[in-house]
Amino acid sequence: MTRESRPLTKTAASSGNITSGNTFPAAGTQSVNGGGKSTGSASALRTMDNSLSHAISSACDWLVGQQKPDGHWVGPVASNASMEAEWCLALWFLGLDDHPLRPRLGKALLEMQREDGSWGTYYGAGNGDINATVESYAALRSLGYPADDPAISRAATWIASKGGLKNIRVFTRYWLALIGEWPWEKTPNLPPEVIWFPNNFVFSIYNFAQWARATLVPLAILSARRPSRPLRPQDRLDALFPGGRANFDYELPARGDRDLWGRFFRATDRGLHWLQSRFLKRNTLREAAIRHMLEWIIRHQDADGGWGGIQPPWVYGLMALHGEDYQFHHPVMAKALSALNDPGWRHDRGDASWIQATNSPVWDTMLAIMALHDADGETQFSPQMEKALGWLLDRQVRVKGDWSIKLPDVEPGGWAFEYANDRYPDTDDTAVALIALSSCRNREEWKKRGVEEAISRGVNWLIGMQSECGGWGAFDKDNNRSILSKIPFCDFGEALDPPSVDVTAHVLEAFGILGLPRHMPTIQRALAYIRAEQEPDGPWFGRWGVNYLYGTGAVLPALAAIGEDMKQPYITKACDWLVAHQQENGGWGESCASYMELSMVGRGVTTPSQTAWALMGLIAANRPQDYGAIARGCRYLIDLQQADGSWHEKEFTGTGFPGYGVGQTIKLDDPALSKRLQQGAELSRAFMLRYDLYRQFFPIMALSRASRLMKLEK
């Protein structure tokens, strides 16, 4: 496959094996759009020759300047205030109330508070989030901030204005229980005995998504033991119980979809609480289950001290082990606590500190390699790229993880997202790693280093991970048991990891670039899946990036990479949708609110990363009538570039969880959607991210591909 057909877009995995049925605003009707129509002039591209080259060169210089001494790249990953609040509360729970990190986390929380007193889930959200606000309020109180402190009183007023604590999520209820502010009996019960369920049973822990599984295990221990370390009397959260705790209704709020299974699981939860309070506290079987879970936790600890490469299993794992009398000097505990000082997790600024929800060195490094390769950087930046390729090659995971429980005969060969997460390589990182490594596969020195073997192992692992529907999920095959999302525990983000279009597109792109034959069944099944997932108006849903711009920007380069006829009507429809959503300034933008509000699909503040995704999609299709739109998009990026060669981007364009529960696209025109999901455009059940270096990687790719297109048209 030639470099001209190269593409990409981002992330790590999962959406669904259904078509959502959404009907999007008609092309060209949005008031924010720049024009819906495009002048197809190749001369518009040619006139940018010098400015395009200069923008690419200065952007690459800036990017190379960010490379770490050992060859990798990593940028900060921003999320929401719950990360800092929960760590602050966890250290209190552990008895480490004098830990030097706690006041620094408090300072970070104060910096993140909105003017109205709340905390939000993503930059630019129209409304604050009740869960992040309650957790931040509790964390600041645990630090001794008095009730009449302006930040505290504003938060309490905002919480009261939103109905108080009655609508907080399950995880926030757990945190309040851990500090003595919520009865454990009114939290969803997680019996540790689930660890005994056979792997082929629907409620096996291996049918939950990777992140849910790794979190469920330590939480089950905490749920069984019901520990708490109450706040000091003067710091208690009395203001959040204006009618008194005795008169408060602690029951979970009713959803709009109280179907038979939902009612069944609510009743089962009440029964489990009854059993626990009478028979299961120190039952022999329960003690054995807890021991087994402790072994599972210890066995799954990452080399850097965390668990699963993400915050929840790390913070809950620490507390669960502490409750079982693991001392701080125990190697597992010591390593987990020391990770809080690891710059891979922690970001300090002034007297404030942030603990990231995850870290992205492998992902960032492969995207940097791709960007520099697109920019013909092999000559100018040869030493830097060689070092990066070596670092990436060494990160291939060659041990079996949780995915192998269902695929015992598949050999390992994937890549993980983070520094140390061998248990959970993901298909998205693996696909993009293969694209990055393809640039050196034909060179003798890299053949001697085993690059071809690594690529072969990666391809075979991906083929083994393909789901029955033809798509790929992030961490597991066929992780789509929707009944699990009905369990009360699963009212957060997503409990499942079904296939998604964006990940599937990246896998197809990798296979095309590596020269796998188009007619092979794996590729044909994936192509059929992608075509079935297209929305009626042309775009594709973005599971791991915001949103339809991300999904569509991933699919079109993938189709070009496998040699699809880019003049087909379904591709034309996708391109028309992209052009129709270009804005007056030449850029593209889509708000995180698009995951809940149909009117926000394809709309939002324009950003460098999302503009680049749209451009890469249009460039891959290479329709002459789109050259004008491509030129305007490039001009937007050039004009927005800073003097040092970088771009700025405050908006969140990465997705952790849309908050749907099922992990895949759903119908946004459902009038009961907000009540059923218990979230609006503020995305209270979702988890959104800003990958700092997206602002650099993707514009370099888009401008470089536009430059090649321009040269072809001369």
- If you average pLDDT over residues 611-627, what whole number do you get? 97
Six-digit token string for 644? 């040092």
Known catalytic residues are 428
Given a contact cutoff of 8 angstroms between Cβ atoms, the answer to whether 231 and 237 are in contact is yes
* Residues 613, 618: Cα–Cα separation, whole Å: 9
Per-residue pLDDT reduced to its tens digit, 222-265: 999 999 999 999 999 999 999 899 899 998 776 655 566 566 55
pLDDT per residue over 447-465, tens digit each?
999 999 999 999 999 999 9
* Residue 688: strand pairing partners: 655
- Mean pLDDT score of the chain: 90
Give φ, ψ of 415 to 5 degrees.
-125, 145
Whole-number percent of the chain with pLDDT over 70: 89
pTM of the full structure? 0.91
Q: Measured between alpha carbons, how far is 491 from 483 in angstroms, rounded to an integer?
A: 13
Q: What is the pLDDT of residues 59-104, one digit of tens each?
A: 999 999 999 999 999 999 999 999 999 999 999 999 999 999 999 9
pLDDT of residue 259: 66
Whether residue 165 contacts residue 248, with contact meaning beta carbons closer than 8 Å, is answered with: yes
d(Cα 602, Cα 29) in Å, to the nearest integer?
A: 12
**For residues 111-128, average pLDDT:** 96
Residue 24: the pLDDT is 44
CA-closest candidate to residue 526, choices 506, 552, 540: 506
DSSP string, 395-411: T---S--GGGGT-TTSP
Residue 15 pLDDT greater than 50, yes or no: no
455, amino acid identity = I
- Position 267 scores a pLDDT of 60
pLDDT tens digits, 326-357:
999 999 999 999 999 999 999 999 999 999 99
CA distance 274 to 252: 17
At 116, the amino acid letter reads: D
C-alpha span between 361 and 419 (Å, rounded):
6
Has residue 30 got a pLDDT over 80? no
Taking the CA atoms of residue 560, residue 562, residue 563 and residue 564 in that order, the dihedral angle to the nearest 10 degrees is -70
- Per DSSP, which regions of 342-465 are E strands? 346-349, 352-355
Within its chain, how far is the Cα of 144 from the centroid? 33
The residue that leads in pLDDT, 350 or 666, is 350
